[in-house]
Structure 1
Amino acid sequence: MFNQFVIPGALPTVYYIPDFISEDEESYLLQQVYKSPKTKWTQLSGRRLQNWGGLPHPKGMLVEKIPDWLQTYCEKISSLGAFSGKKANHVLMNEYKPGEGIMPHEDGPLYHPTVTTISLGSHTLLDFYTPVNTLEGDAPQTEENRYLFSLLVKPRSLLILQDEMYQHLLHGIRPCTQDTLTDKVVNLSTAGALSGETLTRSTRVSLTVRHVPKVIKTKLMLGRK
C-alpha cells in the first residue's frame, strides 16, 4: 500500500488518498447511481442505499454480478492490495442528504477486515468512537465521552480503514448540515483544509467497496433438488 497516504494522527491504519478519481469520473458515477432502477434503493430512516454484489449474510452471500461501471473501481481498489490479494466483491452505496447521518457502528465479521470508500458529491466528517464499556471509571457511556477524533472525507477521495481502525473502533456521521473543522480532525493537512473552517454539506453518495469472504455462487445451486 502507499505509505505516503497513511494518516499518522489516527490509530493503525488509515489511508486517505485525495483525488483518487477525476471530476469526470465522479460525474459519470453519480449519473450511473441515479440511473439505477428504483427497486435497487432501500429507504432507511436517515439515508437510502443500494446493495451491489449480493446481500452479505452469516451463511454466505448469494453472489450477483456487479455492473461494469462499478466493477472497474472494485478492480482498481483490489489492485492496490487493500484486501490482502483478494478481490472486492461487494459495493454498498449510501446516499446522505444534508442533515442525514449514521449512528456509530462497526462493519463486523461478514467482511474482510478492511473498508474502502469512494465519496461522491460532498464532503463529510467521519467520527470515531471507542465501543461502549471500554472506558474506565464510572463516567456515563455517552457518545460525547467516547468520541476520539474525526476524518474529513472529501469528494473524489478514497478512504481505507484497516487493523485497529476497523476492528476496535466505531465510526459514524453526525446528522448536520455544516461541519466546523477543529484540531480533532486528524487529516486536515492531507485533505487540504484548515482548523476553524466551516464546510456546508450537500448530497453525498458513498461507494463502500469490500470483500465478503463467505459466498454462495448461484451456479452451484442450479439443478439441485
Structure 2
Amino acid sequence: MAYPCEITEELKEHVVTTAAPTVYYISDFITEAEEQYLLQEVYKAPKPKWTQLSGRRLQNWGGLPHPKGMLAEKLPDWLLKYTNRISALGAFAGKAANHVLVNEYKPGQGIMPHEDGPLYHPTVTTISLGSHTLLDFYRPVSQSEADGPQTEEKRFLFSLLLQRRSLLVLQDDMYKHLLHGIQNTCEDTVTETVVNLSSAAAHLGQTLTRDTRVSLTIRHVPKVLRANLLPNRK
C-alpha cells in the first residue's frame, strides 16, 4: 500500500502552533467503542508478552528494534488498522508504521525525560487509551559549564495534555532535540505551561485525576531484517 510522502491536509489542520516545531494533536482520533476494543485486545495478550519495568509494564509488537536491524514480525490485525490509518496521514514520509510499543501506566507512574533515538524514523505517534496524561518537554542537558546546575525544573519548557482517545504526532525539533517525560503523580493541574489547552478542551486551573492509561506508541523502524535473510546458524 502506498502512503503519502508528506503530511496530509487533514493532519495539517491539527498542528499545535503554540508549541515548538512540530506537533499535531487530534482529539477523539478514535471512538469510545474503538478505545474499549483496543484495551480489550491489549489485555487479551498472553502474559509472556508483557515486560515488567520498575515504573510500568509494556508490550512490544512488530519486533525488537536494534542497531543492526529489527527482525520484523507481522503486526496483528487489531493494530494494523490503526498503524495504517496513521501512515495514511503521511506521518512517516511515505513509509508504513511497523512497530508498536504498548505502555501501561497506573496512577502515580510515569517515565523519566528521554528521547526516542536514531533507531526510528524521526516521528513518534501516540494514541492514548483509558486516561489522560501530561507529557512534559525539556531541553537536553547542556555541555556548557556556564549554564550552571541543570535540574529538570530549569530545563522544563512546556507540557502537552493528552486526552484519552487522542492522537499525538511529534516531528522535527520535538523529536530530534527535546526530551519528553511523564511525572509520577496521581493527578494533574492544568496551568499556563500546557500549550494545547484549546485542542485538548481543557481550562486553566482544572484538576484531572489519572486512571490507568495505556499508550500505543506507533513508529517506523527503517532498518529491518527479514527472517529468510538471516545467516544460517546450523
After superposition, the Cα gap between the structure-2 partners of 1:136 and 1:183, relative to the gap in structure 1 and judged at 3 Å, is farther
User: 2:192 — aligned with what?
Assistant: 183
1:111 pairs with 2:114: no
After superposition, the Cα gap between the structure-2 partners of 1:131 and 1:90, relative to the gap in structure 1 and judged at 3 Å, is same
Q: Which runs of 5+ in 1 are unaligned?
A: none
1:166 pairs with 2:175: yes
CA separation in 2, counterparts of 1:137 and 1:190?
38
Q: 2:51 aligns with which of 32, 42, 55?
A: 42
Q: 1:192 aligns with which of 201, 205, 215?
A: 201
Provide TM-score, normalisation by structure 2. 0.93
Q: SS of the residue aligned with 1:182?
A: coil
User: 1:140 — aligned with what?
Assistant: 149
Counterpart code for 1:72: K
CA separation in 1, counterparts of 2:25 and 2:50?
28
Alignment of 1:39-78 (within 5 A): 39-78=48-87
CA separation in 2, counterparts of 1:138 and 1:220?
49
After superposition, the Cα gap between the structure-2 partners of 1:111 and 1:137, relative to the gap in structure 1 and judged at 3 Å, is same
CA separation in 2, counterparts of 1:59 and 1:67?
24
Structure 1 residue 65 displacement after superposition:
1.4
User: 2:4 — aligned with what?
Assistant: none
User: 1:149 — aligned with what?
Assistant: 158
Provide TM-score, normalisation by structure 1. 0.97
User: 2:95 — aligned with what?
Assistant: 86
User: 2:26 — aligned with what?
Assistant: 17
Measured against aligned partners, the alpha-carbon deviations of 1:149-193 in whole angstroms (never above 9, x if no partner) come to 000000000000000000000000000000000010000011000
After superposition, the Cα gap between the structure-2 partners of 1:82 and 1:144, relative to the gap in structure 1 and judged at 3 Å, is same
After superposition, the Cα gap between the structure-2 partners of 1:222 and 1:133, relative to the gap in structure 1 and judged at 3 Å, is closer
CA separation in 2, counterparts of 1:147 and 1:220?
45
Counterpart code for 1:170: L
Structure 1 residue 217 displacement after superposition:
0.9
CA separation in 2, counterparts of 1:138 and 1:22?
46
CA separation in 2, counterparts of 1:146 and 1:99?
22
Counterpart code for 1:176: T
Structure 1 residue 218 displacement after superposition:
1.0
Counterpart code for 2:131: S
RMSD: 1.3
Counterpart code for 1:20: F
Counterpart code for 1:205: V
Q: SS of the residue aligned with 1:155?
A: coil
Counterpart code for 1:34: Y
Q: Which runs of 5+ in 2 are unaligned?
A: 1-7
Measured against aligned partners, the alpha-carbon deviations of 1:97-126 in whole angstroms (never above 9, x if no partner) come to 000000000000000000000000000000
